Structure 1
């Protein structure tokens, strides 16, 4: 930065920097709020996913249409459990 700037030029430069800073602060606030909103949505979706998994587990252990489960059927692993070779 040249040292021979007039006071008016320095004031103009300072004002431009302050304006840029204000816009950047506003932009950061907007980004922060977006991240907060996305985290809330993600939390809600994770809760829904957990509830759906639980309901699927419950339904997979229920007898189908009044049929009685075959012996050993209740010992079957859940569908989302990985086989031992993984």
Structure 2
């Protein structure tokens, strides 16, 4: 193998190492973003559930004047 071939091989390996390092950094950044978004989505889902329950309670109160858990069984 000639000196020129060795230099070309070294240059190619260095280029691949540079690309790999960049890809690893990009993957770490993307992972951070995904982790943050997952936490935000979980919080938003919880808020939507809370708001849905409040809406159902208010809607029922407006229609009937009381909540379903306060309703007496039919045998009373």
TM exceeding 0.5: yes
2:69 match: 74
* SS class of match (2:61): coil
1:65 match: 62
1:41 match: 37
1:75 shift after superposition: 6.5
1:44 shift after superposition: 0.6
Work out which of the residue numbers 21, 28, 34 in structure 1 matches 2:17.
Answer: 21
TM-score with structure 1 setting the length: 0.64
The CA deviation string for residues 45-74 of structure 1, in whole angstroms up to 9 with x for no partner, is 11011011012223323443274227xx21
* SS class of match (1:69): coil
TM-score with structure 2 setting the length: 0.70
Partners of 2:42 and 2:63 in 1: CA distance:
32
Query: What is the Cα-based RMSD across aligned positions, in Å?
Result: 2.4
- Asked whether 1:55 is paired with 2:47, we answer no
Give the gaps of 5 or more residues in structure 2. 72-76
Number of residue-to-residue matches in the alignment:
70
| Larger RCO, structures 1/2 (Cα 8 Å, 6+ apart) | 1
Partners of 2:15 and 2:65 in 1: CA distance:
74
